[in-house]
Amino acid sequence: MILDRRTLAGLVALTLMWGVNWPMMKFSLREVTPLWFRALTMTGGALVLMLFFVARGVDMRLPRAEALRVAWLALPNIVGWHFFSILGLQELASGRAAILGFTMPVWTVGIGLLIAHERLTPRVAVSVVAAVAAVALLSWQELARLAGRPLGVLWMQVAAACWAIGTLMMRRTATTLPTEAVTVWMMLMGAAFFLVAAPLAEPLPQPAAFSAAMWASLAYGVLLNYGYAQVLWFGLARRLPPAASAFSIMAVPLVGTLSAMAIVGERPQPADLLAAVAIMVAIGAALLPRRATA
């Protein structure tokens, strides 16, 4: 498929924002518990988006007939992915958590083949192999420690499977709502879940004790990760085929691993360079247009 300039720019921006977000989240977990982090940032992001779209004249009403459908989409896309991924991140280094979370494209293709009757083309097969190679190269050290920290790896794989299912559902669910409204209402439903779950499982946060860097990290989560990036992702997920929309962001783990050096002091391993090549192969095989035949 041939990507227009706007779609390509969106993919690049999404890669950078989501990549940097992993070490930013890891930094935040030094001062706030995981469920409260999700509750605070997701609620703030949803409210900011709601005000922004209303100001732009987007119809943000949620008809009763659409509410159940949006809630169904929110279950894997918002609740499942964000709940299990933050639990996994609490256990793992941010770069490794990002890598394990972004096995999502492999789950997407596999589920599409088994359930949604997607075709396994040679290009998609190359993408799958390259993605698996990248994940293996970057996560072998964490997997070697599986006996010591099994839950972190397990949570990230459950999160990846939830995201993959949600991506397929987004493309196949018909709704009369604009993408902006679907995104914001899914986030509000997810925020409601975390606002209920956090007080039941964790102590109240102490905002007065937050550092300036912590406030900056929360602002990043609200305005970028739960703001612009969410609308961008769900819009792309609707326009692109599942395999392409999934593999288009396979560079996120690489950005997360490298940016973690500056944000939380993690150091990537030599295998990261080889994995970067594999990730680029996965992206190219999924997105670059076929060469025209004579």
pLDDT tens readout for residues 156-204: 989 999 988 998 888 888 888 988 899 899 999 999 999 999 999 999 9
Question: Could you tell me if residue 67 is inside a domain?
Answer: yes
- Evaluate whether 100 touches 139 at the Cβ level (below 8 Å): yes
pLDDT at 294: 42
- C-alpha distances in angstroms, 9 versus 66, 114, 122, 232, 288? 31, 32, 26, 11, 15
Out of 37-46, 52-61, 85-94, 120-129, pick the least confident.
120-129
In this predicted structure, the answer to whether residue 46 has a pLDDT above a threshold of 90 is yes
Tokens linked to 85? 């991924």
SS3 57: coil
Measured distance CA(166)–CA(76) in Å, rounded: 5
Handedness of CA 93, 28, 15, 77 (dihedral sign): positive
Measured distance CA(210)–CA(160) in Å, rounded: 30
Question: Could you tell me if residue 88 is inside a domain?
Answer: yes
Question: Could you tell me if residue 193 is inside a domain?
Answer: yes
Q: Find all residues with CB under 8 Å of 212, minimum gap 6, and list them.
A: none
Out of 134-143, 208-217, 228-237, pick the least confident.
134-143
Count of the separate structural domains present in the chain? 1
Question: Could you tell me if residue 71 is inside a domain?
Answer: yes
Residue 144 CB neighbours (<10 A): 9
More confident residue, 132 or 210: 210
More confident residue, 46 or 271: 46
The 10 Å CB-count burial string (b at 16+, else e) for 64-83 is eebeebbbebbbbbbbbbbb
Give the DSSP letter string of the chain.
-PPPHHHHHHHHHHHHHHHHHHHHHHHHTTTS-HHHHHHHHHHHHHHHHHHHHHHTT------HHHHHHHHHHHIIIIIIHHHHHHHHHHHS-HHHHHHHHTTHHHHHHHHHHHTS-----HHHHHHHHHHHHHHHHHHHHHHHTTTT-HHHHHHHHHHHHHHHHHHHHHHH---SS-HHHHHHHHHHHHHHHHHHHHHHHSPPP-GGG--HHHHHHHHHIIIIIIIIHHHHHHHHHHHS-HHHHHHTTTTHHHHHHHHHHHHT-----THHHHHHHHHHHHHHHHHSPPPPP-
Question: Could you tell me if residue 60 is inside a domain?
Answer: yes
Question: Could you tell me if residue 293 is inside a domain?
Answer: no
Boundaries of domain holding 241 = 5-287
pLDDT band at 43 (very low <50, low <70, confident <90, very high): very high
Question: Could you tell me if residue 69 is inside a domain?
Answer: yes
Question: Could you tell me if residue 236 is inside a domain?
Answer: yes
